[in-house]
Amino acid sequence: MPVATRVAFFDHAAVAPLSEPARLAVRRWADEATENGNADWPRWDRRQSELRELAARLVNADKDEIALVQNTTAGINLVAEGLDWRERDNIVTLADEFPSNQYAWLNQQSRGVEVRRVPTDNGRVDLDRLESACDQRTRLISISWVGYLSGWRNDLNAIADIARRQGAMFFLDAIQGLGVFPLDVQKTRVDFFAADGHKWLLGPEGAGLFYIRREHLDRLRPIGVGWNSVPHASDFTRIEWEPRASAARYEGGTANAVGLLGLAESLELLMSFGTEAIRERILSYTTTLCEQLRNAGTVIHSHREQAEHCSGIVTFELPGVDSQHARRVCARANVALSCRAGRLRVSPHAYNDQTDLDRLLAALEEAG
């Protein structure tokens, strides 16, 4: 991670720096596109197919259940706009979800769909309360793997069980967990998920992943269709509407080749270490980080009591210090973090070390 030579980077929950393999892939694409035009397109296309296979292997899915999309929002809207909603259907989500995982559903109110937004306790999810919000008209439960504000990591198996008991489908906003926490869609019944690659996957912006369980392919009406949505995609004179028998039917037109090529390299890098090892590293690091932040006088707002709900996101405050001021002081010291809802938010990755943490603590001391 070249960023580590200059910056103590604690902002992977926002926009992560590129890995070195991703940078090289982006540069190579730029050189080839500049010098050769589209001559290298077949190889770029093959690498995108390999990305589908990598993503499928990451979550134990079939490659035909993976689509390459622009971002998480695009994946959410494939479901929100593609389901055959009926009047008085409802969807259950959380009141403090990221806006994209609320607006796409709230937009369905014009079709007679009710959106039930379940409150949390500073990010902590009460599963009994979540299930109580469901009834026989609940078509979908849509939850983030990790809360972007609090860092609360949800029990996906428990939520999948709730959805199954209620006869609903389960959509997972996976952007804050995919690649750093294990997911096996054969064991955890997620019906759909979406995740952009520009956070924990260390890829470029504008390149992400969408998963749809195979049995739902004909249940989800394709939107944004185009030349690439059909099995005879390269035969432009053959106009016969029959969608691909795979998630690629949702890809529509020309892909963001440079972004996807970069994402493939970063995903391959992460998978070479394994998500189990990355998870253990991140959880151990954030535990140490919380201990040292408390010793420095900060107030930790993330729930860290139960390891199964911890993540790579930690939110905190410096008593008596404006969080935006603290963030600016950190930025001048080349320490990258975010300010969300008036609190400081750090989100280290597996490559961060004690030197980075020391720089963070020194910058916070200066801010105070």
Q: What tens digit of pLDDT does each residue of 130-179 get?
A: 999 999 999 999 999 999 999 999 999 999 999 999 999 999 999 999 99
Predicted confidence (pLDDT) at residue 37 exceeds the cutoff of 90: yes
Q: Across-strand partners of 8?
A: 335
| Residue pLDDT, tens place only, 90-108 | 999 999 999 999 999 999 9
Query: Please, are residues 56 and 212 in contact by the beta-carbon 8 Å criterion?
Result: no
pLDDT score of 203? 97
Phi, psi of 171 (to 5 degrees): -100, 130
Higher pLDDT, 291 or 368: 291
Distance CA 260, CA 270 (A): 15
pLDDT score of 246? 96
| Crossing angle (nearest 10°) for helices 41-59 and 257-273 | 40
| Residue pLDDT, tens place only, 338-363 | 999 999 999 999 999 999 999 999 99
Q: Is 283 helix (H, G, I), strand (E, B) or coil?
A: helix
What average pLDDT is seen over the chain? 97
Parse the chain into domains and list their residue ranges: 2-18+275-367, 21-272
Query: Please, are residues 22 and 266 in contact by the beta-carbon 8 Å criterion?
Result: yes
Predicted confidence (pLDDT) at residue 296 exceeds the cutoff of 90: yes
Torsion angle, alpha carbons of 24, 29, 34, 39, to 10:
140
The long-range contacts involving 196-200, CB below 8 angstroms and separated by at least 24 positions, are 196/71, 196/72, 197/259, 197/262, 197/263, 197/266, 197/267, 198/15, 198/16, 199/12, 199/13, 199/14, 199/15, 199/16, 199/175, 200/12, 200/13, 200/16, 200/175, 200/176, 200/312, 200/349
Q: Across-strand partners of 300?
A: 316
| Crossing angle (nearest 10°) for helices 275-295 and 354-367 | 30
pLDDT score of 34? 97
Q: Tell me the C-alpha to C-alpha distance, in Å, between residue 238 and each of 222, 224, 235, 253, 345.
A: 19, 19, 6, 16, 52
Six-digit token string for 257: 């080749």
Distance CA 263, CA 210 (A): 14
Q: Tell me the C-alpha to C-alpha distance, in Å, between residue 111 and each of 81, 114, 115, 293.
A: 10, 9, 11, 48
pLDDT score of 368? 85
pLDDT score of 142? 98
Domain 21-272 in CATH 1.10.760.10? no
Distance CA 209, CA 358 (A): 35
Distance CA 118, CA 96 (A): 8
- By DSSP bridging, strand 138-144 and strand 90-94 are parallel
Mean pLDDT score, 31-59: 96
Q: Which CATH number fits domain 2-18+275-367: 3.40.630.30, 3.40.50.10260, 3.90.1150.10, 3.40.50.1000?
A: 3.90.1150.10
Query: Please, are residues 15 and 205 in contact by the beta-carbon 8 Å criterion?
Result: yes
HSE-CB of 195 using CA atoms within 13 angstroms = 29
How confident is residue 254, by pLDDT bands cut at 50, 70 and 90? Answer: very high
As to burial, measured by CB atoms within 10 angstroms (0-12 exposed, 13-18 middle, 19+ buried), residue 177 is: buried
pTM: 0.96
Contacts of residue 220, Cβ cutoff 8 Å, sequence gap at least 6: 78, 79, 82, 83, 192, 212
Six-digit token string for 185: 């869609």
